[in-house]
């Protein structure tokens, strides 16, 4: 028995000496109260617009079967090949933390029989996504997206509507200096012909390509146009443009999309190199870029049409279009532009106490006020009435409700008008009614 105690002490000592990491996992950041004001501001604007446009909110699980992303996003994509957090459960199921939102929403559309609902079905979502990539400004390994999807409508006007919704959200939150980049990447009928032309062109330039693009040439040639390496961008600038090789249906669809955007008076730029990084896209693709101070442009969000995704995941043929944007990136852009959100927290009344007996009365009074929908503040740990009144001023409270030892014994409350300084004693029984009357005045 003594030997066991000795071993336990030795282990405890070893544990105390061991340095236990206390910082967040790299690429996964805390969102502190001051930042939450801007997050709430962005989400409130986006939610309101989606509600105005007739979208309903959906929440899907953070964890999905890995097969969903293999089939939906595409195995030969950076997300699936390099960036997913994938593991095996105790039941030997391969699951992944979701790297993006559309595949999960499409799965929910099929699984919950939404094809039987009145079409189109409009859904919006928000929440964390996970990608194992190098953290950078506005992009983290755990990041948050807001997105909207429309299922069951092939009309090109719906493409224009989703682009308009995305553009309008950034206008509403205060990021106005933006450009819409738009392209069509065709469909299963015309894209194979274009891919062959693209491969033939790049094979003649193969010595000028980066290692990733040499691999993409055989696996996913459209991604060659999306490479950000300088030498690859130079090669891409002279590559055949898919817009010149669209079939009649894709050509007419894209032409109509642009005409609808013209009608909405939204300026756009045709970008023949824009393909997006996910395999499910067909026809229209777009991104919203912020114009930089020195002419540089950064993508804030994007999306497009994905008519084959529902069928790929086992559902019926269902046209669909959507977009998403990163909330962290939007917050970062607002802050870098000098955006300031007035962070006034208002408490209608502030409860002030002196002594333990008064604290007990304050706790009961606080409960009564909350039940009466009166926004109340308190600081139970502070003993000085003066410091508590300073807090009442900081919270812009109209009234302070003060209970000291005498008031606690008499079951009364002192009501103090914070603007005039006038005070009056009111019984505890009448306090809620009196507060309501004064707040309305």
Cβ 423 vs Cβ 434: under 8 Å: no
User: What is the pLDDT at residue 2?
Assistant: 41
The region of weakest confidence among 7-16, 178-187, 306-315, 375-384 is 7-16
The region of weakest confidence among 9-23, 140-154, 392-406 is 9-23
Cβ 291 vs Cβ 178: under 8 Å: yes
How sure is the predictor about 221, in pLDDT bands with cuts at 50, 70 and 90?
confident
In tens, the pLDDT along 278-333 reads: 788 999 999 999 876 444 457 899 999 999 999 999 999 999 999 999 999 999 98
Q: What is the pTM of this model?
A: 0.83
Cβ 227 vs Cβ 233: under 8 Å: yes
Q: Average pLDDT in the 385-410 region?
A: 92
In tens, the pLDDT along 187-204 reads: 989 989 998 998 999 899
Question: What is the distance between the alpha carbons of residues 432 and 434, in angstroms, rounded to a whole number?
Answer: 5
Helices vs. strands in the chain: H and E counts, helices first: 16, 16
User: What is the pLDDT at residue 295?
Assistant: 40
User: What is the pLDDT at residue 5?
Assistant: 42
Q: What domains are there in the chain, each with its CATH number?
A: 33-190+246-336 (3.30.930.10), 349-440 (3.40.50.800)
* Residues 6 or more apart whose Cβ sits within 8 Å of residue 316: 115, 310
Question: What is the distance between the alpha carbons of residues 44 and 49, in angstroms, rounded to a whole number?
Answer: 9
User: What is the pLDDT at residue 19?
Assistant: 67
Does the pLDDT of residue 156 top 60, yes or no? yes
How sure is the predictor about 369, in pLDDT bands with cuts at 50, 70 and 90?
very high
CA dist 109 → 177, 183, 309 (Å): 35, 27, 11
User: What is the pLDDT at residue 4?
Assistant: 40
Cβ 402 vs Cβ 385: under 8 Å: yes
Does the pLDDT of residue 46 top 90, yes or no? yes
Picking from 289, 310, 314, the residue whose alpha carbon sits closest to that of residue 102 is 310
Q: Average pLDDT in the 34-50 region?
A: 93
In the chain, % of residues over pLDDT 90: 63
CB neighbours of residue 440 within 10 Å: 6
Cβ 241 vs Cβ 253: under 8 Å: no
Question: What is the distance between the alpha carbons of residues 135 and 146, in angstroms, rounded to a whole number?
Answer: 19
* Residues 6 or more apart whose Cβ sits within 8 Å of residue 336: none
In tens, the pLDDT along 104-141 reads: 999 999 999 999 999 999 999 999 999 998 887 767 89
């Amino acid at each position: 028995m003594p030997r066991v105690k000795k071993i336990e002490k030795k282990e405890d000592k070893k544990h105390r000496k061991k340095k236990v990491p206390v910082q967040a996992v790299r690429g996964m950041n805390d969102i502190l109260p001051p930042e939450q004001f801007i997050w709430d501001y962005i989400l409130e604007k986006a939610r309101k617009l989606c509600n105005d446009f007739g979208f309903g909110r959906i929440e899907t699980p953070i964890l999905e079967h890995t097969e969903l992303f293999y089939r939906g996003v595409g195995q030969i994509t950076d997300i699936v090949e390099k960036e997913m957090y994938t593991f095996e459960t105790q039941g030997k199921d391969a699951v992944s933390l979701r790297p993006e939102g559309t595949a999960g929403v499409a799965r929910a559309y099929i699984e919950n029989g939404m094809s039987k609902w009145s079409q189109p079905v409009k859904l919006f979502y928000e929440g964390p996504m996970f990608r194992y990539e190098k953290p950078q400004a506005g992009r983290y390994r755990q990041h948050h997206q807001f997105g909207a999807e429309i299922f069951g409508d092939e009309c090109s006007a719906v493409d224009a509507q989703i682009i308009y919704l995305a553009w309008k959200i950034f206008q509403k939150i205060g990021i106005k200096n933006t450009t819409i980049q738009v392209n069509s990447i065709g469909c299963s009928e015309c894209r194979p012909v274009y891919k062959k032309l693209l491969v033939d062109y790049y094979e003649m330039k193969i010595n000028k390509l980066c290692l990733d693009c040499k691999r993409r040439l055989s696996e996913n040639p459209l991604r060659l146009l999306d490479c950000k390496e300088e030498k690859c961008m130079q090669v891409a600038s002279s590559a055949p443009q898919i817009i010149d090789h669209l079939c009649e249906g894709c050509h007419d669809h894209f032409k109509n999309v642009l005409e609808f955007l013209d009608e909405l008076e939204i300026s756009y730029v045709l970008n023949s190199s824009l393909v997006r990084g996910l395999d499910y896209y067909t026809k229209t693709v777009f991104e919203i870029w912020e114009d930089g101070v020195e002419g540089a442009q950064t993508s804030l969000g994007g999306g497009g049409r994905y008519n084959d995704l529902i069928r790929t995941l086992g559902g019926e043929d269902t046209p669909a279009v959507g977009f998403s944007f990163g909330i962290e990136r939007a917050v970062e852009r607002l802050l870098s532009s000098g955006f300031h959100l007035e962070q006034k927290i208002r408490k209608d009344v502030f409860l002030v106490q002196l002594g333990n007996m008064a604290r007990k009365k304050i706790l009961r009074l606080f409960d009564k006020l909350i039940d009466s929908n009166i926004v109340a503040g308190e600081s139970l740990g502070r003993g000085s009435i003066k410091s508590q009144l300073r807090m009442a001023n900081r919270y812009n409270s109209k009234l302070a409700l003060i209970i000291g030892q005498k008031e606690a014994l008499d079951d009364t409350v002192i009501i103090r008008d914070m603007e005039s300084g006038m005070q009056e004693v009111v019984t505890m029984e009448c306090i809620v009614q009196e507060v309501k009357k004064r707040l309305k005045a």
